[in-house]
A and B are shown apart, each in its own frame.
Chain A
Amino acid sequence: MSAGAAPITVPPIDLDAAITASFWGRAIRDTFRNVGACIGLVWIVLLIIVAVLTPLLANTEPLIVKVNGKISWPMLRYLTPTDVILFILAAAVLIAAAFRRVSMGRRAMAVGAVLLITIPLAYIFVHPPVTVDWQEYRDLARAGRIQYELMAPLPYSANDYQRDDPSQVLQPPSRAHPLGTEANGGDVLSRMIHATRIALSIGLVSTGIAVIIGVAIGGLMGYFVGRIDILGMRLIEIFEAIPTLFLLITFVAFFGRSLMLIMVIIGLTTWTLEARFIRAEFLRLRKQDFVQAAIAGGLPLRSILFRHLLPNGIAPILVTSSFSIASAILLETYLSFLGLGPVDAPSWGQMLNQLLGVAGTFVWWIAIYPGLAIFLTVFAYNLLGEALRDALDPKLSR
């Protein structure tokens, strides 16, 4: 032993914090060490940006226009409540992300509070005109009465159908229409940009519903084994036995075709996978010592379920929900493709519908671009799911 050895000091470690931080830290690090997951995330972030900025990217109404010496802001006048809510939400998230020193939970709560205040206010105060004259500024420009105007990069809204102008219908990609136009004279790129909102929201909302139902039922089954488990298993079997697409079109046939309804229905019909996973996790966890100790210690049921079991059993749900989002987007695409999707909303699948059947004409720009967008989005979520699964459960990554 050398005489000059300094006394070793062990800094006190907050063991609990170290363990939890390292689990999620490791999971996130391992996930994004995977190239595929990074590509998937980049695509999804891009979609989110596009979805938030939709009215600024593709809009028939100019942002600023000067007619006969008067300056006006038509784009602002035509903003919908959804646009406003998304803008404010995005701003809130960005501001919250800047405050690094405040804890994650508080920042999330602040964003949630902003959202809760914004939604009613936006619906009370924002009233875009019901009927839109798409030709208004186009005619003015043609008449040469516009002194100055600032347009969006793509000067066509999604529902700006120029049916009456034969030179605008089913045009191949050109400088004016980068991805061509569809059968009603709408701009394909603009419709694709507006459809990102539906794709993202369908995935998130329906999977959220599926996760809530699945965790509730699966968790109860896994914790109270026995009769409840058997009953729940029969319920899962019933829902798995009905082919999802058949159940969906049945729902749509009987209840109509609104976007919210379709989201809810997809959630209601796809919760079984989540339930199975959470049940398996809870079955495994409830035999472990810390849960047995919690039960023996007489902790209330809600503490056992929500503080001991749920945080430890939620990880596999992350993986499943990533795949569920992908399949929800696919289901919406299929519905829209069959002509049973949300009414009057631009969606990727609905454009493919134009190519269907005897009446449809095959034009390659409608076939390729919206399909590619669906494929890339589904692929991105699947890549994320694969990477998450490999990171969370090294046993499975073979």
Chain B
Amino acid sequence: MGAYILRRLLLMFPTLIGVTLVTFLVMICSPGGLRSVIVSHEGLMDPRQRAAVEKYYSKKYGLDKPLPVQYLLWLNKVSFVGVKDAGAGWPASWRFGFKPVDLGESIVHHRPVLDMVEEALPITLLLNGITFPIMMGISLWTGIKAAQHRGGVGDVVGGSLFLGLWSIPQVWAGVLLVGYLANRNFLHWFPASGLHDLRDEEMNFLPARLVVGFHCGWLLDTCWHLVLPVVCFMYAGFAFSSKLTRTATLENMAADFVRTARAKGVSERQVLYRHVLRNSLLPLITYSATIIPGLIGGAIIVESIFGIPGMGKLGVDAVFDKDKEMVLSTTLVATVLTLVSYLLGDIAYAIADPRVSFEAEGT
């Protein structure tokens, strides 16, 4: 097990290098390259400002050096291990080791990108962290029920309904949810945007009954703001994973070991939850690792619709501001998140299925 995880970790590094290479190539191949920041947030920069920005980029990325060197310089900047304070005397004055990550500086906000990512990342993680367990829980339940009553009305209707749900574009669902459930002209049940109320600073943490009346508190308020985004986030993936659970459950229900369990008199409940479910989890774990990039990408849409200041919104705003380092950093961070979630998925798989090992993969 330990060896498996270690090897899996080591395999992650070539991918990580490749990802940085792809992002770097996008940056370099773009018309004008990194230096071409001529339009700022407000419009044209004045020549002095522009010269200053160009000088900053030239110095920082070594734009006068050949491409591979530029790549290595950039890689050294964004990674957390590498060369610390590279002096002129090579290589005597170079020291390798852990160093602070440098993702560059946002030209528009005049702040280090890393700081802004640190603010936005927990919000996206929170959104994903809430969505994911709810989604998996519901889809397990509906999938197993559909498999139990295979061919029944619920199964057939549910099957078509899920394909329909899966095809609904997230933008449409989001716009309709906001428009009908969070609009003063229709039903104003939910807040339309943001993650907190405007007065969240003066709120208590927990709900309380005060003299002036019921006080909803910070926690409840945040949950209230999260309802619509989470629904918008969840429905498509939930439809798909439910279908997957159904297929896996059906497959296992027809297996020999289930027949044996039934024959020796194990109760139907026990058969389902001890024998079938554990085996049905495996494809679901694989799938859940593969939808993580979808969820992280979906954060772009959901955060834009609901005005949530997470990674997705950071990325889109940066594109509009032509804030190149910011765009690259959000992509890089999203990718690292995806890689980590793949890793977690594989580890979860190895825990759920003790047969997994690298030796078995080749056969």
Binding-face segment, B1-9, B12-20, B39-47, B68-76: B12-20
Known A-B contacts A333-B169, A379-B167; the reply to A243 vs B296 at CB < 8 A is yes
Interface positions of B from 301 to 334, Cβ below 8 Å from A:
301, 304-305, 307, 315-316, 318-320, 322, 324, 327-328, 330-331, 334
Docked-complex contact A375 and B169, CB < 8 angstroms: yes
Task: Report A-chain residues with C-beta under 8 Å of the C-beta of B300.
Answer: 245-246, 249, 334, 338
Q: Is the CB of B327 within 8 A of A249?
A: yes
Decide yes or no whether A250 CB sits under 8 A from chain B.
yes
A235–B19 Cα distance when bound, in Å, is 9
**Option from A256, A338, A378 in Cβ contact (under 8 Å) with B316:** A338
- A208 contacts chain B at the CB level, 8 A cutoff: no
Report if A355 contacts B (CB, 8 A).
yes
- What total of chain B residues lie within 8 Å of the partner, measured CB to CB? 58
B331 touches A247 (CB 8 A): yes
Given contacts A235-B18, A247-B331, A249-B327, contact A337 B319 (CB under 8 A): no
Report the bound CA distance from A78 to B31 in whole Å: 33
Q: Is A234's CB under 8 angstroms from B176's CB?
A: no
Docked complex Cα distance between A250 and B322 (Å) = 10
Interface of A is mostly: helix
**CB neighbours of A374 from chain B (8 A):** 169, 171-172
- Let me know if B81 is at the binding interface, CB within 8 A: no
Q: Is the CB of A253 within 8 A of B319?
A: yes
Chain A nearest CB, measured from B79 CB (Å) = 16
Interface residues of B, dominant DSSP = helix
Q: What does the 1/0 interface line of A323-359 toward B look like (CB < 8 Å)? A: 0001000100110011110000000010010011110
A242 and B176 within 8 A (CB):
no
Q: Do residues A242 and B338 form an inter-chain contact, with CB atoms below 8 A?
A: yes
Contact partner of B31 (CB less than 8 A), chosen from A235, A255, A337, is: A255
Question: A238 to B163, Cβ gap below 8 A?
Answer: no
In-complex Cβ contact of A333 among B23, B171, B307, B324 (8 A): B171
Whether A133 is near chain B, meaning CB under 8 Å from some CB there, is: no
**Is there an interface contact between A371 and B342, defined as CB atoms closer than 8 Å?**
no
Q: Which residues of B contact A (CB under 8 A)?
A: 14-15, 18-19, 22-23, 26-27, 29-31, 160, 163-164, 166-172, 175-176, 178-179, 183, 185, 193, 247, 250-251, 290, 293-294, 296-298, 300-301, 304-305, 307, 315-316, 318-320, 322, 324, 327-328, 330-331, 334-335, 338-339, 342
> Which chain A residues have a beta carbon within 8 Å of chain B's beta carbons?
36, 234-235, 237-247, 249-256, 326, 330, 333-334, 337-340, 349, 352, 355-358, 362, 364, 367-368, 371-372, 374-375, 378-379, 382-383, 386, 398
9 cross-chain pairs, A with B, having the tightest CB-CB distances, nearest first: A254-B30, A371-B172, A245-B297, A243-B297, A238-B18, A379-B167, A362-B179, A253-B319, A243-B293
Q: A250-B331, A338-B304 are in contact. List 14 more A-B contacts (CB 8 A).
A: A243-B297, A245-B298, A245-B301, A250-B23, A254-B29, A340-B316, A355-B178, A355-B179, A356-B175, A362-B179, A367-B176, A367-B179, A374-B172, A398-B247
23 contacts between A and B (CB under 8 A): A234-B14, A237-B15, A238-B18, A242-B19, A243-B297, A245-B298, A246-B300, A246-B335, A333-B171, A334-B300, A338-B301, A349-B171, A352-B171, A352-B172, A357-B304, A357-B307, A362-B178, A362-B179, A367-B176, A371-B176, A375-B169, A378-B169, A398-B247
